[in-house]
Amino acid sequence: MSPMSDVRGPAYKGSLTGGAKSLFRLPPKGPPLPRLVLAEAAIDALSVAAIESLREDTLYAATGGGMGPGTIAALEALLASIAMLPGALFCSAADANGPGDRFADRHRSLADKFRIPFARLRPLIEGRDWNDALSARSEARGAKP
């Protein structure tokens, strides 16, 4: 079976054959950072980064909603690189719903495997994601998201 990459648009959600799914990263390159925040979608990783004012000690990453072999390999390599850093912390920023909780449980298992402390970051709006939380925060401040 060929690797696949997600394609999304206003009227279509599908995959491209021949792509390889991995991790979205912010910052995209640089030395290992001790804190990893892992979201399901890139927009959610960016939203957590905005809410946290882009912490310098943190790599914001996203799996693209799936945990296929390429994504797991990239994530395990990343976790191995931060496991020995002082203050290492793996934060799951999955959605505030049942599937997000199951996703966070998978993240916790990976943290345990690499002996990295784990924290669950959960949007305060039940059933929603981090982009919704950022939008609500912006609206509460009187600004457009």
Measured CA to CA, the distance from residue 59 to residue 115 in angstroms comes to: 18
pLDDT tens for residues 83-136? 999 999 999 999 999 999 999 999 999 999 999 999 999 998 888 899 989 988
In a domain, 41, yes or no: yes
Measured CA to CA, the distance from residue 109 to residue 90 in angstroms comes to: 11
Range of the domain at 53: 4-8+21-140
In a domain, 15, yes or no: no
Number of domains in the chain: 1
Phi first, then psi, for residue 77 (nearest 5°) are -65, -40
Amino acid at site 145: P
Does 12 score more than 60 pLDDT? no
Residue 122 sits in a domain whose CATH number is: 3.40.50.11610
In a domain, 13, yes or no: no
Does 138 score more than 70 pLDDT? yes
> How high is the pLDDT of residue 3?
34
Q: Please, what is the average pLDDT of the chain?
A: 85
| Beta-sheet strand order (sheet of 89-92) | 24-26, 58-62, 35-39, 89-92, 118-120
Measured CA to CA, the distance from residue 70 to residue 78 in angstroms comes to: 12
Per the model's pLDDT, the better-predicted residue between 144 and 131 turns out to be 131
In a domain, 115, yes or no: yes
DSSP 67-122: --HHHHHHHHHHHHHHTTSTT-EEEE---SSHHHHHHHHHHHHHHHHTT--EEE--
The DSSP 8-state label assigned to residue 138 in this structure reads H
In a domain, 145, yes or no: no
pLDDT tens for residues 31-69? 999 999 999 999 999 999 999 999 999 999 999 877 788
> How high is the pLDDT of residue 142?
74
Comparing C-alpha atoms, which of 6, 56, 2, 11 is closest to residue 30? Answer: 56
Task: Say whether the peptide bond before residue 69 is cis (omega within 30 degrees of 0).
Answer: no
In a domain, 37, yes or no: yes
